[in-house]
Amino acid sequence: MRVRFTRFDTTCLHRAPSTSARPRLASDTWPFQRGPLRPAGILPGDGRLRNRARHMSCQNRSSRLEAEMATTITVLYENVDDATFDLDYYLTKHLPLVDEKFKPFGIKGWRVLKAVGTPFGGKPAYSVICTLDFDTADQFRSAVAAEGGPVFGDVPNFSNKDPVVVIGDLVGSSSSN
């Protein structure tokens, strides 16, 4: 089975479909639903208000999805025997530097994970994983082109290994409620 993801979903299912063959007019959409577009058995006032409330929830969902569909930069620090990493320096000095230098280019935030293991108890391939959030990959590329020198030049102050940097666009997500 092939799954196709899109940038964001703006489909609203709360407007009744047109049952006529004529082209849709501006007066065919809410709040002017008349004739074949009004769901059967719904009074004009009640139906419009209920459909408007449902449609507004679709617009809010679309806005949330659009906001969530961003670019994530993943910075990985290898977990090899001769690697050193100063997590305190990284959190208190380096990431504030990243914030300061990349803020004009649209960085939205960052998260840091300290790897503690693998599903089968082995040693993780990476010791520290950092994600940086931007709206687009071009924002990150612009930030690196303009301010990457001081940011990447600070790496030897907390690690003796160069990071692996991966740029990824969010194409799907899930959350448990």
Residue with token string 């849709």: 24
Q: Rounded to an integer, what distance in angstroms lies between the CA atom of residue 26 and that of residue 32? A: 8
Domains and CATH numbers, the chain: 26-66 (no CATH), 70-169 (3.30.70.100)
Q: What is the pLDDT of residue 68?
A: 52
- The rounded radius of gyration (Å) of the Cα atoms in the chain is 24
Cβ-in-10-Å burial (0-12, 13-18, 19+) of 13 comes to exposed
DSSP state of 111: E
Under-50 pLDDT residues of the chain? 1-43, 46-49, 55, 58-59, 61-63, 65-66
Among 66, 133, 58, which residue's Cα sits nearest to residue 98?
133
> Sign of dihedral through CA atoms 100, 106, 111, 112?
negative
Q: What is the pLDDT of residue 175?
A: 86
Q: What is the pLDDT of residue 97?
A: 97
Cβ-in-10-Å burial (0-12, 13-18, 19+) of 73 comes to buried
Q: What are 160-175's pLDDT values in tens digits? A: 999 999 999 988 888 8
